[in-house]
Amino acid sequence: MRRYEAMVILSGDMDADELNSAVEVVRKEVEAAGGTVDNITRMGKRTFARILQSPRRLAEGYYVLYELRLDPAKVDALRGRLALRDEVYRVQIVRTAEREQAAGPDRGGDESGEAVAAEADTR
């Protein structure tokens, strides 16, 4: 299984209870697809730059970020299942493995080398 981030925009015309239930519905869809949700980050309600027309007029939505693990062959099926849900307005799923590899040892520098250089300066 690979790591993914799924940005889900939920309809902005829900109350708190409906929002909680919609967040859980998405989590259950991920689990039904054979994945696991590692973290859920609610990013709040945001106003869109323009009113979206399809299938209903929406001016704002709730943004929720899911960090999940899923078999790559099941990503398209999950995206399709979420698109059928009335409370889900948009879904974007991206793989995070490339970002983790890019943040490897070259990004932060060699910490042991930095410590040796610091010791050399004090002598």
Per-residue tens of pLDDT for the chain, all 123 residues: 899 999 999 988 899 999 999 999 999 999 999 999 999 999 999 988 888 776 677 889 999 999 999 999 999 999 999 999 988 989 999 999 655 555 555 544 444 444 444 444 443
pLDDT digits (tens, 9 = 90+) for 81-109: 999 998 898 999 999 965 555 555 554 44
Tally of structural domains, the chain: 1
What per-residue confidence (pLDDT) applies to 122? 40
Q: Is residue 118 part of a domain?
A: no
Q: Is residue 114 part of a domain?
A: no
Cβ neighbours of 69 (radius 10 Å)? 14
Say which residues have a Cβ less than 8 Å from residue 31's Cβ, sequence separation at least 6.
37
Q: How far is CA 101 from CA 3, 29, 61, in A?
A: 12, 28, 32
Q: Is residue 121 part of a domain?
A: no
Domain around 54? 2-106
Q: Tell me, what CATH number does 98's domain have?
A: 3.30.70.60
Q: Is residue 119 part of a domain?
A: no
The H-assigned helical ranges of 16-74 are 16-32
What per-residue confidence (pLDDT) applies to 71? 94
Q: Which residue has the tokens 């930095």?
A: 114
Separation of alpha carbons 82 and 30, rounded Å: 9
Instruction: Please provide the distance, in angstroms rounded to a whole number, between the alpha carbons at the two ends of the chain.
Output: 50
Q: Is residue 122 part of a domain?
A: no
Q: Is residue 17 part of a domain?
A: yes
